[in-house]
């Protein structure tokens, strides 16, 4: 994404947010009219046309070779919506695409073909004849880097769901801004958001506030043919579409040993819990449900405190192995004292109730334990304030408007790898 336009408007690309289309009208507005020299209606005069901005290509250069298949057509000046771009391949087939919101570049709607000559034309109100360039894309690179996302296509997620993107090789810090510009998120309705680099191999996207229920989100990781490392290029573009369901928030307070469950802002259930004992305290912080299973085998790794137990109705909250799950053995302790290895123990009835209610990405908040949630121990995106979160982006922070952008700063610590569950 050559120039970031973190504005989400109807279709906005975040942090890599680009509004792909714009245009509105009002029938009540007075329409401007052109008047000819004889006072009759007509087209603009020659002098008027000469004053209109003229669009031209800034890059790639005419006749350029070895152009990335992830290229954007940069425009000189700022012709904005005044410019119209067409792109065709050697066979004359037209390539779909759209201008960035600020009109500084035109983005092909999909990865271009390797080793192919393209012809691009840009016209504008000030130059209807237009400017034309031809360029040839690079041959398929010898080394490619896979890019993946934790998002499953057409799935419904919780309001806290981050967009998690992983790279097969670490992206160097000085290349992250260019990569981030090609990570395009569009949402309806529009919501401000940004990316955060946990390390060179993993970057997340979250909105400023929780996603609004009912939001439709499209993700395009436009990295096919984009240089991601010193000698590696993206294998292909990755796309995904998902939506956001009801707002579910589970809040556990260690002072009361109770969990309060809210749906769309209303308390629908309160239940007793038992958290981690003194030796293995639960983490306090803002988490989301990362994974769910009807049953899992939990095996302890501490020789002094071994356990091996098949556990039911599990919901993972951290990479380190903290879960919400059924614990019939601790029902007598739930609501009174902490006896777990760090997990949130609930009764079998309550565990099944929660399992059937929740989605991956639903919010889990734990308060007043002796251990603070470690940053990167799971999808901890909501455990930083927005002011701090935007510092994890490689691009300037977004404006706090209905149009998301990118953020600026060095990456923070890496996400912790998954480890054994704590019963």
Concerning whether 343 is annotated as a catalytic residue, the answer is yes
CA neighbor of 317 nearest in space, from 281, 339, 291, 284:
291
Integer Cα distance of 346 and 327 in angstroms: 6
Radius of gyration of the chain from its Cα atoms, rounded to whole angstroms: 26
Tell the burial category of 84 from Cβ atoms under 10 Å away from its Cβ (0-12, 13-18, 19+). middle
CA 10 and chain centroid, separation: 16
**Contacts by 255-264, CB closer than 8 A, 24 or more apart:** 255/367, 255/368, 257/334, 257/335, 257/336, 257/337, 257/338, 258/335, 259/344, 259/346, 261/354, 261/357, 263/357, 264/213
H or E, element range at 51: helix 46-51
- Calculated CA dihedral for residues 73, 391, 192, 103, nearest 10 degrees: -20
Catalytic one among 24, 204, 325, 341? Answer: 325
| Per-residue tokens: 421 | 């569950």
Structure tokens at 378: 């799971």
Scanning the structure block, which residue is given the tokens 């240089």?
Answer: 227
283 DSSP 8-state letter: E
Rounded CA separation 56/131 (Å): 6
Q: Which helix or strand (DSSP H or E) is residue 387 part of?
A: helix 386-389
- Annotated active-site residue 24? The verdict is no
**Tokens standing for residue 226:** 């984009």
**Per the residue annotation, which of 204, 257, 341, 343 is the catalytic one?**
343
Q: Residues with catalytic annotation?
A: 325, 343
């Amino acid at each position: 994404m050559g120039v970031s336009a973190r504005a989400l408007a109807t279709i906005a690309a975040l942090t890599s947010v680009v509004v792909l289309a714009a245009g509105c009208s009002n029938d009540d507005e007075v329409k401007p009219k052109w008047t000819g020299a004889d006072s009759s209606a007509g087209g603009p005069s020659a002098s008027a046309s000469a004053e209109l901005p003229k669009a031209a290509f800034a890059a790639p250069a005419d006749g350029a070779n070895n152009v990335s298949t992830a290229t954007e057509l940069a425009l000189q000046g700022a012709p904005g919506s005044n410019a119209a771009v067409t792109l065709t391949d050697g066979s004359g087939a037209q390539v779909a695409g759209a201008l960035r919101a600020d009109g500084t570049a035109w983005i092909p709607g999909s990865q271009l073909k390797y080793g192919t000559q393209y012809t691009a034309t840009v016209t504008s109100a000030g130059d209807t004849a237009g400017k034309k360039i031809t360029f040839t894309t690079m041959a398929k690179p010898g080394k490619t880097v896979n890019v993946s996302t934790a998002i499953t296509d057409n799935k419904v997620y919780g309001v806290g769901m981050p967009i998690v993107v992983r790279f097969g090789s670490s992206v160097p810090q000085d290349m992250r801004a260019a990569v981030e510009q090609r990570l395009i998120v569009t949402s309806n309705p529009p919501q401000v958001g940004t990316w955060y680099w946990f390390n060179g191999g993993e970057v997340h996207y979250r909105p400023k506030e929780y996603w609004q229920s009912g939001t439709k989100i499209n993700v395009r990781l436009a990295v096919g043919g984009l240089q991601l490392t010193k000698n590696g290029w993206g294998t292909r573009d990755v796309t995904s579409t998902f939506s956001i369901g009801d707002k579910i928030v589970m809040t556990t307070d260690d002072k009361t040993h109770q969990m309060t469950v809210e749906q769309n802002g209303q308390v629908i259930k309160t239940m007793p819990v038992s958290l981690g004992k003194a030796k293995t305290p639960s983490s306090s912080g803002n988490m989301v449900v990362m994974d769910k299973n009807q049953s899992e085998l939990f095996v302890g790794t501490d020789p002094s405190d071994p356990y091996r137990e098949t556990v039911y109705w599990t919901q993972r909250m951290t990479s380190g192995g903290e879960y919400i799950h059924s614990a019939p053995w601790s029902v007598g302790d739930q609501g009174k004292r902490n006896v777990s290895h760090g997990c949130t123990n609930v009764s079998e009835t309550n565990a099944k109730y929660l399992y059937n209610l929740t989605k991956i990405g639903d919010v889990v908040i734990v308060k007043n334990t002796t251990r603070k949630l470690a940053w990167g121990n799971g999808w901890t995106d909501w455990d930083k304030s927005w002011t701090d979160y935007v510092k994890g982006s490689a691009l300037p922070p977004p404006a706090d408007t209905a149009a998301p952008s990118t953020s600026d700063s060095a990456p923070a610590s890496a996400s912790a790898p998954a480890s054994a569950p704590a019963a």
